[in-house]
Structure 1
Amino acid sequence: MAYESGALNAALSAAVGNDPDLVAELRGAFLESAARQIDLLGRARCDANWHFAALRLKSLAASFSVQGIVDLADQALEGAPGDPVVLRELAHAMRDFGDMNGPTP
Structure 2
Amino acid sequence: MAYDPGAIDAALAAAVGDEPALIAELRMAFVDSAERALVALEAAADEEAWRTAAARLKGLAASFGAVRLMALAGEAADAPQDAAILARLQRSVSRL
TM-score in same-fold range (> 0.5): yes
Number of aligned residue pairs: give it: 96
Paired AA for residue 84 in structure 1? A
Partner of 1:69: 69
Query: 1:5, CA displacement in angstroms?
Result: 2.2
Partner of 2:94: 95
2:13 is equivalent to residue 19 of structure 1 = no
Tell me the TM-score normalized by structure 2: 0.91
Query: 1:3, CA displacement in angstroms?
Result: 5.3
Unaligned runs of at least 5 residues, structure 2: none
Runs of 4+ in 1 over 6 A off after TM superposition: none
Identity of aligned residues (%): 44
Unaligned runs of at least 5 residues, structure 1: 98-105
Tell me the TM-score normalized by structure 1: 0.84
Any idea what the Cα deviations from partners look like across 1:37-59, whole Å, max 9, x if unmatched? 01100111201100110111111
